[in-house]
Amino acid sequence: MRFEPTAETRVLVLTGAGVSAESGVPTFRGSDGLWEGHRIEAVASPEGFAADPRTVWRFYGLRRQGALAVSPNAGHRAIAALEARLGDRFLLATQNVDGLHRRAGSERVVAIHGELFKSRCVRCSRPFDDDATWLEGPLPTCADCGAAVRPHIVWFGEGLDPSHLERVADFIVDAGPMLHFFAIGTSGQVYPAAGLVDAARSSGATTWLIDLDPDEGYATRFEHVLRGRSGEVLPRLFAAD
């Protein structure tokens, strides 16, 4: 099957951990929910950071190292190539924090769950430029106010950036029935990302799910469900001719 956009077609892509799986980045729900004996919530929540910032920084430091050691795959590249054809008629909302979409050439990217290589002050939110791994030595502090610096990641119990949600919602409304919404490599368990398919459907969009092992309940909300690895399905689906 090949997706053939017309001159009017708009495309919103939502990606999840499955898109980076073929690059060697582990997915979330495929693991046992533990990291070095810590519950994942303990290293990915404001409470966990307040209780033990060193452990949290070690977790993200190792994820930074891991992300630097891998490369974008054919799925990331197919999404970037589709954007190159559509320009402003395309938007990518990613739940992935690994930066692989940008490294593959994607430009119109909304990183709704944050970015692994960004940090900010816990008190004044000043962005912190140094993207070191902080695996040892003193932890980073804010140059302005001296408070702790934390990873710029949306943690359990935290809301998404309202400007990100607005950009995605506006894109859906503006596109109306011209929209094709693709959810790729995501289990659809985490809201509000999991609700985007419903918003797209109610404005008349055509909806597609591409996943190696689609979540049954999530899949019922899509018109087209393609089962397979994104690195194999997307280059064919998005082939230009």
Minimum CB–partner distance for residue 22 and ligand OAD (Å)? 5
Window 91-150: residues binding ligand OAD (CB under 6 A) = 95, 113
How many C-beta neighbours within 10 Å does residue 127 have?
A: 11
29 versus 54: smaller Cβ distance to ligand OAD: 29
Nearer to ligand OAD, 43 or 179 (CB): 43
DSSP for 115-184, written as a single string: EEEEEEETTT--EE-------SSSPPB-TTT-PBEEEEE--TT-PPPHHHHHHHHHHHHHHGGGEEEEEE
Write the single-letter amino acid at 178.
M
Q: Is residue 27 a contact point for ligand OAD (CB under 6 A)? A: yes
Give CA–CA dist 194/200, Å, rounded. 11
User: What span, in angstroms and rounded, lies between the C-alpha atoms of 235 and 111?
Assistant: 23
Q: How far is CA 198 from the centre of its chain?
A: 18
Binding ligand OAD by CB under 6 A: which of 21, 42, 56, 197? 21
Contact pick of 80, 110, 111, 154 for ligand OAD (by CB under 6 A)? 154
CB of 108 to ligand OAD, least distance (A): 19
Q: How far is the CB of 110 from ligand OAD (least distance, A)?
A: 13
Q: What angle do CA 164, 168, 173 make, to 5 degrees?
A: 145
Rounded distance, CA 97 to CA 118, Å? Answer: 10
Interaction between residue 211 and ligand OAD (CB under 6 A): yes
Residue 189 touching ligand OAD (CB under 6 A): yes
Determine, following the binding rule CB under 6 A, whether residue 17 of this chain makes contact with ligand OAD: yes
Which is closer to ligand OAD, CB of 161 or CB of 215? 215
Interface residue with ligand OAD among 10, 16, 25, 63 (CB under 6 A) is 16
Residue number with the shortest CB distance to ligand OAD? 18
Q: Which of 76, 101, 113, 152 is catalytic?
A: 113
* 4, 24, 29, 34: residue in contact with ligand OAD (rule CB under 6 A): 29
Chain centre distance of CA 193 = 9
Residue 222 is classified by DSSP as -
Is residue 164 part of the annotated active site? The answer reads no
From 186, 200, 209, 238, residue interacting with ligand OAD (rule: CB under 6 A): 186
Size of the site for ligand OAD (CB under 6 A): 23
Structure tokens at 25: 């980045």
Beta-bridged to residue 213, according to DSSP, are none
202, two tokens: 């109610």
State the residues that interact with ligand OAD by CB under 6 A.
16-18, 21-22, 27-30, 95, 113, 154, 185-187, 189-190, 211-213, 215, 229-230
Hey, which residues are catalytic here? 113
